[in-house]
Structure 1
Amino acid sequence: MRYTTLGASRLEVSRLCLGTMNFGRHADTDASHSVLDAAHEMGINYIDTANRYGTADRPHASEEIIGEWFAKGGGRRERTVLATKVFEQTDPWPNNGGLSALNIRRACDASLKRLKTDRIDVYQMHHVDRLAPWDEIWEAFETLRAQGKILYAGSSNFAGWHLALAQASAQDHRWRLISEQSVYSLARRDIEREVLPAARALGIGIVPWSPLAGGLLAGRGDGVRRTDAATLAASEKHRASLEGTQRLAAELEVEPAALALAWLLAQEGVVAPIVGPRTADQLRAFAGVPDLDLDDEAQARLDALWTGPGVAPEAYAW
């Protein structure tokens, strides 16, 4: 496994991030623990979850399952860079969602309890809250850091200008964002226009979610997601690009999914794509991805197959 630092921090993370959205939904506790054990065996130390990953009858399943895994001991917690999120509504009563100071502190304590740990290494805002003043947000984060409950701050689903505002306000509170989770893949390159350039300039590492575009780029990957109506429609829309990607993957003797992930890792500012397997074997299939270095020709062919939006303002102005 290869490692890098997360944004402009000294925190070292693996070049693949284990996403745990499937825990409790498509993987039961035993299967989820097998995936977590396999991650450590592969050298993956970066594990991402959220306080609302679960099911209707068990809405916090992912955090709970990870907490049960940590409780097994054996250095599991000590070897993990743990990231979770706050924003989603956890109760219909007011102040149980969003980024108010009250909810941030309340949600953090609840996550710590479920995760059976004393700290969250990277506490992430799951979405921008347009009603919450940045001073209020950072003061809440500051209190949690003083209490030893969180170490670093991250964001998810922010626009470029949100990152700029957040980072400017953070400096007033001796804070900074070190990561941004954005949807990003060969098939979804929207963030290249403004989010990615902003993140690079501000020292924020990009952590792509849905790096295989919901299974579209998985090749012979999991059949469940690739047979839903939306994915089938996308497959037809992008047929030529998919066929070209498959030909290139065959020439390089790699799976299409590995090629798509390697392309992401080659993009400046990208730290670690989030992979969310349901089984340990699915995770192990990605073991060689961080060592797959694409040459200029391979990257140029993929760029031609999957055209990006360009960088602002040149993308739409002179």
Structure 2
Amino acid sequence: MDRQVPLGRTGLQVGRLVVGTVNFGGRTGEPEARRILDTALAHDLNLIDTANMYGWRVHRGYTEELIGRWLAGSPRRRDDVFIATKVGEQMGEGPNERGLSAHHIIRSCEASLRRLGTDTIDLYQMHRYDPGVQWDVVWQAMGQLISQGKVRHVGSSNFAGWNIAAAQHAAQQRGLVGLVSEQCIYNLLTRGPELEIMPAAHAYGLAVMTWAPLHGGLLSGAMRKAREGTGAKSAQGRAAAALAANRPAVERYERLCADLGRDPAEVGLAWLLSRPDGVIPVVGPRTVGQLESALRALDTRLPAETLDELEKIFPPIGHGGTAPRAWID
């Protein structure tokens, strides 16, 4: 499998996996986070994804600060990696310290640049759609940051398909490139993006990065880890909430993985990497070992019969495929 793929229509080549940093700070201490980043770069994973509010278990902005210290440790690192961060989530107590107002976008960008210790953010992502702000306001702010050299490309996260279309239409009216990527939740258990998000992204030339590729650990061997008492993450949050409703499917999945002699996390990532949409999974390792497990998925080829069985265990929505054909008889 190619270790580098295009980032949408930007002309940039990025690693086949994105290094997510949501666990840095609180779950993963700085020494281990640095080892994860070093290991990722050594394996050509050159896109690091973060957000201005990550590290909230310590304080909002902590993860960007950690990445900034890591970048400063070597003069070559900043040239070797692409930095993606996000704006939009709550960063303070004031009413204007969240959302996608021009005020918040510009101030947040400047604060992220200071924390990261860099002059430019390679991919500045809107963390979620803000219904209270018109697109002309958003693109005025983003256009200003781009013209100043503070942002190279703009992406979205957690957008609906129609949000992507509306954003692109407004950007084109201002003569801007607009969005180059969308980051959404997508995995064997959550297949909604196949209906409209991925078709919209394809139509407008956006890369699709997928967060929670293992559904918060549910697809990484949650049942086995529960029996062994080792499932710290898969026993809480998104994974725990989904397990009650999907236990039979997860049990079948883990039996299939055992029959294959493969770790469930490896199979879940390999399925994503096999998708015809060319999605780029965002892995959020807490340890170097978890990153190394994700790297093994790059060399895993799932046979056709395994892919067929996964479709039976975790069926697509409706008839499968895109909307509206997925639900039309």
Please give the TM-score of this superposition, normalised by the length of structure 2: 0.91
2:25 touches 2:58 (CA, 8 Å); kept in 1? no
CA pair 21-289 structure 1, distance change in 2 beyond 3 A: same
**Partner deviation per Cα, 1:99-143 (whole Å, 9 max, x = no partner):** 111111110000000000111100000000111111111121111
Pair 1:276 & 2:320 matched: no
- For these two proteins, the number of residue pairs brought into alignment is 318
| Farther-moved stretch of structure 1 (190-199 vs 234-243) | 234-243
Contact 1:7 1:178 in 2 (8 A): yes
Cross-structure match for 2:199: 197
Q: Which residue of 1 aligns with 2:78?
A: 77
SS at match of 1:274: strand
Matched, 1:304 2:325: no
> Is 1:227 matched with 2:235?
yes
Cα distance change of structure 1 residues 233 and 130 upon mapping to structure 2, 3 Å threshold: closer
Give 2:253's match in structure 1, choosing from 234, 245, 254. 245
Determine the structure 1 residue equivalent to 2:220. Answer: 218
Cα shift at 1:294: 2.5
1:88, 1:126 within 8 Å by CA — same for their partners in 2? yes
The whole-number CA distance in structure 1 between the counterparts of 2:98 and 2:294 is 35
Whether contact under 8 Å (1:207, 1:270) holds in the other structure is: no
Contact 2:216/2:237 (8 A) holds in 1: no
Contact 1:14–1:44 (8 Å) recurs in 2: yes
Deviation readout 1:273-308 (Å, 9 max, x if unpaired): 111111112211211212223333222211111011
Residue pair 1:122, 1:151 contacting (<8 A) in 2 also:
yes
Distance 1:229 1:29, change over 3 A: closer
Structure-2 change in CA distance of 1:305 and 1:186 (3 Å): same
The answer on whether the counterparts of 1:4 and 1:271 sit within 8 Å (CA) in structure 2 is no
> Structure 1 unaligned runs (5+)?
none
Q: 1:230 to 1:169 in 2, by over 3 A?
A: closer
Residues 125-162 of structure 1 deviation map (CA, whole Å, 9 limit, x = unaligned): 00001111111111211111111111111000000100
Q: CA deviation at 1:233?
A: 5.3
Aligned partner of 1:7 in structure 2 is 8
Deviation at 1:244, TM superposition (A): 2.7
Corresponding residue for 1:206? 208
For 1:183, give the aligned amino acid. Answer: I
SS in 1 for 2:77: coil
5+ unaligned residues in a row in structure 2: which ranges?
Answer: none
Call closer, same or farther: CA 1:259–1:179 in 2, change over 3 Å: same
Measure how far apart 1:243 and its partner are. Answer: 2.8
CA 1:89–1:232: 2 relative to 1, 3 Å? closer
Tell whether the 8 Å contact from 1:144 to 1:150 is kept in structure 2 after alignment: yes
- Match of 2:5, SS? strand
Q: Residues of 2 paired with 1:274 and 1:19: CA distance?
A: 6
Q: Which one is further off, 57-66 or 44-53? A: 57-66
Partner residue in 1 for 2:50: 49
Paired with 1:182 and 1:229, the residues of 2 have a C-alpha distance of 18
2:324 to 292, 313, 318: 313
**Structure number with higher relative contact order (C-alpha < 8 Å, ≥ 6 residues apart):** 1
Secondary structure of the structure 1 residue equivalent to 2:220: coil
Q: Distance in 2 between matches of 1:39 and 1:79?
A: 11
Please tell me whether residue 91 in structure 1 is matched to residue 99 in structure 2: no
Q: What amino acid is the match of 2:42?
A: E
CA distance in 2: counterparts of 1:275 and 1:312, whole angstroms: 28
Aligned partners of 2:265 and 2:293 also within 8 Å:
no
- Write the distance in 2 (CA, Å) between the matches of 1:47 and 1:190: 25
CA distance in structure 1 between the aligned counterparts of 2:83 and 2:22, rounded to whole angstroms: 14
Q: Over aligned residues, Cα RMSD in angstroms? A: 1.8
From the superposition, tell whether residues 130 and 232 of structure 1 become closer, same or farther in structure 2 (CA, over 3 Å). closer
Distance 2:323 2:241 in 1: 29
Q: Indicate yes or no: 2:41 matched with 1:30.
A: no
- 1:112 paired residue number: 113
Deviations 1:28-51 (A, max 9, x none): 111111111111122211110000
TM-score (norm 1): 0.94
- In the alignment, what sits opposite 1:158? 159
Question: Structure 1 residue 210: deviation in Å?
Answer: 0.5
Identify the residue that residue 141 of structure 1 maps to in structure 2. Answer: 142
Query: Is the 1:42–1:284 contact (alpha carbons within 8 Å) kept by the matching residues of 2?
Result: no
Q: 1:62 maps to what in 2?
A: 63
In structure 2, do the counterparts of structure 1 residues 160 and 229 end up closer, same or farther at CA, with 3 Å as the change threshold?
A: closer
Q: Taking every aligned residue pair, what percent have the same amino acid on both sides?
A: 43
* One-letter identity of the residue aligned with 1:63: E
